[in-house]
Chains A and B, each alone.
Chain A
Amino acid sequence: MSTDHVELRSGAYADSVTLLQVSRAVQAAPGVAAAQVAMATGLNLEVLTGMGFDVPDSSPNDMVVALRLDDDADLAAALAAVDTALVPTRPGSGDTTVAPPRTTGSALRRTGSGAVALVSVPGASATVEAMDALEAGHDVMVFSDNVPVAEEVALKQYATSRGALVMGPDCGTAVIDGVGLGFANTVRPGRIGIVAASGTGCQQLLALLDHAGTSLPGVGVRHALGVGGRDLSSAVGGLSTREALRRLDEDPDVDLVVVVSKPPAPEVAASLQEYADGLGTPVELGLLGRGQRDLTAVAESVLARLGHAAPAWPSYGSDGTGPASGPLLRGLFVGGTLCDESMLMATEALGPVRSNIPLSDDLALTDELLVDDHTFVDFGDDALTQGRAHPMIDPTLRNEQLARAAADPATGVILLDLVLGHGAEPDPASLLAPAIEAARAERRIPVIVSLVGTELDPQGLAAQRDALVAAGAEVHLSNAAATRRALDLIGARA
């Protein structure tokens, strides 16, 4: 037999929402069939009556506690539940932490005017985030790859109309006022500006100029603005390259600008030359391509324009490098532009070479990365990074191919790169050196490494170099020099 308990509490007050919550809590208490705790307003009295409670005379300022119990014995516990529920909850610390922003636009509302956005979300979502930055009047670096070219054009046209800069998409490297973004090397400040449609090309230049700067005070980089590998294609037409050049031209602290790019569309290169000629600041164009200079030659030319002779680019560990033991050159790269540069040089010396980023379509490697020919693989290419981290972070795939190439008796020389800087592995040589050592344990195959980095990089250039040399590699600071050395060794065999 159920029993009702109804009591009035004069002078007690809680707002109606609190009381709804109290009622709900008490309803859940053991033995409670129904519960209603409410101020005795007309509406609430109606509800109570509707529930079958008999409420004594009251005023709207009274609190009514109405309980229906299956068993009288539970009354004390139920009333205790009412009292507990009526005590206001006071979170001890009062968590007032502000949640992190959920969009780039929201984040930029929290920063100052000069903030730069760095976008590395999946390519399908990168454009939206980048537009946030541009709309708010900020520059943006889009590290993401797999952004449709039409979206790249739309972003860059919008940016150009507002005097903002889009670095990327697929922009790996930038240095802004000394701050490295993406995969960037730490360099001495100076009065050179770089515009780069090529991430590792930019890093090679940063590394070479930094090395030269140790003996040539005043040589250093103020800004390195990446523009993305497609910027000088016909579709994009160099929109960001021009904006970057315009900015560096206006910067009174920049004396010389150098543009470095993967092979550009010829008509875009021509119009870029024209644009550069119209600027007040001298511009050195280092556009890779057949018959064009390599990056090291570009760096030397930059030094010459500043009135300096080029230093001897150092190499280490060459004593142990024997002659090539097979006819074929295998280039295994993490840097796309470094791979391009070496391929261009190799093609001149050896004839056509095969690659997953071929110089012409008929030279394409498909799934098979090792064929019976001179082969160059860019492990940073989009097709090989789908669903996995960039090889500067995850070296597994390249190390596998290194073992395969070493095991192939036709392999004469293995040419590798290793790129240091922010964003790269904290100790990449610790992963590559054992692989080199294992490869050379089979036979004393020459392994040439171009090591791109500076002494100020987080990994430490010297320590990385020493580890590679100890593993039996020959290490060069200049990728062109490394490639030339590899070609010499193959040539010596041929």
Chain B
Amino acid sequence: MSDTTIVTVGADMFAEAVEGQAVDVERVDWRPPMPGTEADLAKVATDPRRTEANRRAVEAMLGVTAHLVDVAPASEVLGLEKGQFLHAGPPIEWERASGPLRGALMGGAVLEGLVDDAEDAVALFESGSSVSLEPCHHRSAVGPMAGVVTPSMWMWVLEDRSTGRRTYCSLNEGLGKVLRYGAYNDEVLTRLRWMGDVLGPLLQAAVRGTEEATDVTGILTQMLQMGDEAHNRNRAGTLMLLRDLSPAMVDAGFDSSDVADSLRFVGGNDHFFLNLAMPACKLALDAGRDVPGSTMVVAMARNGTDFGIQVSGTGDEWFTGPAQVAEGLFLGDYGPDDANPDIGDSAITETAGIGGFAMATAPAIVRLVGGSVPDALATTRRMHEITLAENPRWTVPVLEFQGTPTGIDVTKVVRTGILPQINTGMAGAVAGVGQVGAGLVTPPAEIFPKALAALAAQVPA
């Protein structure tokens, strides 16, 4: 009869009627959208700008290649001055800051010499004089977990060669008791000082001395094929970075024991590359910002209290809701009661289509997503339901090299109720504790209808 396929959405009797005529039917598993969003959805769906705006946003994002061009202190590259602190997530004040963010700020205050004893920093931040807090995202940076950046911290500098735009991220400290998880004891501060005195300058010399700037986007492409999803697993990426940088590190003329310490530190820290994956993702997503009418999410970030998103069509406005506590696996005898709500800018990886979105490519850590390889495949496939595109560069071998789901669409999240899947670490709720586990989290659902309402309000009459 006909070779036309009929896609049915709604009453199944019509699908059955078509099947009864020996015609292929593809059924949509439709469910009502998030409550009260129907009118906004219809308004945004019929916004004459939307299709083209989303196409432009996606194209701009996918067009970015992030190159590693420098390593330098935040004071130099971000213009950060003494007393200025960057943090992860949407804006927040000390009063509402969670334990790990407070812990990291306190450690940062000691590192910058603002106080001698971390406990004295509490009064400093409470007074609010001579200190200020600002999201990393507002300075083209991203910070993992607490994401605290102070002027003396050394930053990776990534650049999009075609536009000259740059993004920044601090150097990864390793796991366990580290500042980004809110720990601030002497061991933490000693490590940070070594990173500032030895590792940062050495990496700077290496990056500046490496003829061909490292293509971070290219490493991401390769690591996805090597079993990393580039959020909770960065093992392959870290080793590829070392491969690129180690000759110049050795050649830089530094004390050989410092070089050996640095190589050992980087090689022994499987998450080292995460701090390059994150700004690479931000660089791409920033290219998709500020397209009027676009419903693409350009940032997901958490400060340990609020979860916020930014959307291409709504500029720098944050849409926020309470951050959730991740579900997952705990270190030692820590349990859910010890965990702080979700924290960190690292969800920028999911925003760009890796991390939890590329779960299918990282079978080694599938136990984080319910335990089995089919679950991981299902997670990546599910994310395709809420995204605008597939990344032709970042592909998943086990899914026949299908591109990772890329460009979260606010309207699709609201329509399907499917929330972005984020792989994350868990910080202890109390300042000073550090990491307590790792697991899965989603944004609070209500922020998507909020963003949708703002998009609907902007539709030209």
Whether the Cβ atoms of A100 and B374 lie closer than 8 Å is: no
B9 touches A118 (CB 8 A): yes
B220 in contact (CB, < 8 A)? no
- The answer to whether B17 and A102 have CB atoms under 8 Å apart is no
Contacts of B38 in A (CB 8 A): 124-125
Whether A388 is near chain B, meaning CB under 8 Å from some CB there, is no
Chain B residues with Cβ under 8 A from A387's Cβ? none
Interface centre among B45, B329, B377 (most CB of A within 10 A): B45
Contact B1 A20 (CB under 8 A): no
Q: For the complex, what is the distance from the CA of A201 to the CA of B144, rounded to whole Å?
A: 64
Nearest chain B CB to A468's CB is how many angstroms away?
23
Task: Kindly provide the distance from the CB of A419 to the nearest chain B CB, expressed in whole angstroms.
Answer: 14
B158 close to A (CB within 8 Å): no
Q: Is B21 an interface residue (CB 8 A)?
A: yes
**Hey, which chain A residues are within 8 Å of B368, CB to CB?**
17
A240 within 8 A of B: no
CA gap between A96 and B377 in the complex, in Å: 8
Contact A151:B42 (CB < 8 A) given known A46-B176, A117-B9: yes
Interface residues as binary, B41-55 with A (CB distance below 8 Å gives 1, 0 otherwise): 110011010010000
Q: How far is the CB of A65 from chain B (nearest CB, A)?
A: 14
Mark each residue of chain A from 112 to 152: 1 if its CB lies under 8 Å from any CB of chain B, else 0.
10111111111011011101010100100001100010010
Contact B32 A20 (CB under 8 A): no
Contact count band on B: 35 or more
In whole angstroms, what is the CA distance A158 to B381 when docked? 30
Summed over the interface, the residue pairs from A and B with CB atoms below 8 Å come to a total of: 198
Stretch at the interface among A174-182, A205-213, A254-262, A484-492: A174-182
B6 within 8 A of A: yes
Cα-based distance from A17 to B17 in the complex (angstroms): 49
List chain B residues, Cβ under 8 A from A115.
4-7, 26
Report whether B372 and A91 are in contact in the complex, using a CB–CB cutoff of 8 Å.
Answer: yes
Q: How far is the CA of A135 from the CA of B47 in the complex (A)?
A: 12
CA distance A99 to B3 in the complex (A): 24
What distance in Å separates the Cβ of A74 from its nearest Cβ neighbour in chain B? 17
A133-B14 Cα distance, complex, nearest whole Å: 17
**Cβ distance B413 to chain A, nearest Cβ, rounded Å:** 11
Interchain nearest-CB distance for B209 vs A (Å): 31
In the assembled complex, A361 has its CB within 8 A of some CB on chain B:
no
Whether A21 sits at the interface, judged by CB under 8 Å, is: yes
Are A155's CB and B46's CB within 8 A? yes
SS class, residues of chain A in contact with chain B:
mixed
Q: Does B28 contact A (CB under 8 A)?
A: yes
- For A107, the chain B residues whose CB sits under 8 A away are 7, 9, 26-28
Q: Is A15 an interface residue (CB 8 A)?
A: yes
Task: Tell me, in angstroms, the Cα distance from A118 to B27 when the chains sit together.
Answer: 10
Which chain B residues border A179 with CB–CB below 8 Å?
1-2, 4, 6, 18, 21, 23
Please tell me if the beta carbons of B51 and A135 are within 8 angstroms of each other in the complex. Answer: yes
Q: Is B215 an interface residue (CB 8 A)?
A: no
Is the pair B333, A34 in contact by a Cβ cutoff of 8 Å?
Answer: yes
Closest to B46 in A: A154
Interface size on A, residues (CB 8 A): 73
CA distance A178 to B438 in the complex (A): 56
With A20-B329, A46-B176 known to touch, is A128 a contact of B17 (CB < 8 Å)? Answer: no
Chain A min CB distance to B160 (Å): 29
**B382-A99 in contact (CB<8A):** yes
Q: Does A47 contact B (CB under 8 A)?
A: yes
| Residue pair A51, B332 in contact (C-beta under 8 Å) | yes
* A128→B1 contact, CB < 8 A: no
Beta-carbon nearest neighbor of B390 in chain A: A109
Asked, given contacts A121-B9, A131-B45, whether A181 binds B374 with beta carbons under 8 Å apart, the answer is: no
B9 touching A128, Cβ below 8 Å: no
**Residue in B28, B373, B385 whose Cβ sees the most chain A Cβ within 10 Å:** B28
Which residues on A sit within 8 Å (CB–CB) of B14? 118, 120, 143, 181-182, 423
Check: A314 CB closer than 8 A to any chain B CB.
no
Contact with A along B270-292 (1 / 0, CB 8 A): 00000000000000000000000
Q: Which residues of B contact A422 (CB under 8 A)?
A: 17-18, 20-21
Cβ of A444 within 8 Å of any chain B Cβ, yes or no, is: no
Q: Which residues of A contact B45 (CB under 8 A)?
A: 127-128, 131
A211 vs chain B, min Cβ distance (A): 20
Alpha-carbon separation in the docked complex, A458 to B20 (Å): 9
**Which B residue's beta carbon lies closest to that of A110?**
B26
CB distance from B386 to the nearest CB of A (A): 9
Q: Tell me the bound Cα distance from A180 to B418 in angstroms.
A: 33
Listed A/B pairs (26) with beta-carbon separation below 8 Å: A18-B367, A20-B367, A27-B333, A47-B176, A91-B372, A99-B29, A100-B29, A101-B27, A106-B384, A106-B385, A116-B4, A118-B6, A118-B7, A118-B8, A118-B9, A118-B10, A120-B8, A121-B10, A125-B30, A127-B45, A128-B415, A131-B46, A148-B42, A179-B4, A179-B18, A181-B14
Given A51-B333, A101-B29, list of 15 further CB < 8 A pairs? A15-B367, A17-B367, A34-B333, A89-B371, A91-B374, A99-B29, A101-B385, A111-B7, A117-B9, A120-B8, A133-B7, A143-B14, A155-B46, A158-B46, A180-B17
**Which 8 A-B pairs have CB atoms at the shortest separation, nearest pair first?**
A120-B10, A20-B329, A154-B46, A124-B38, A422-B17, A100-B29, A121-B10, A115-B5
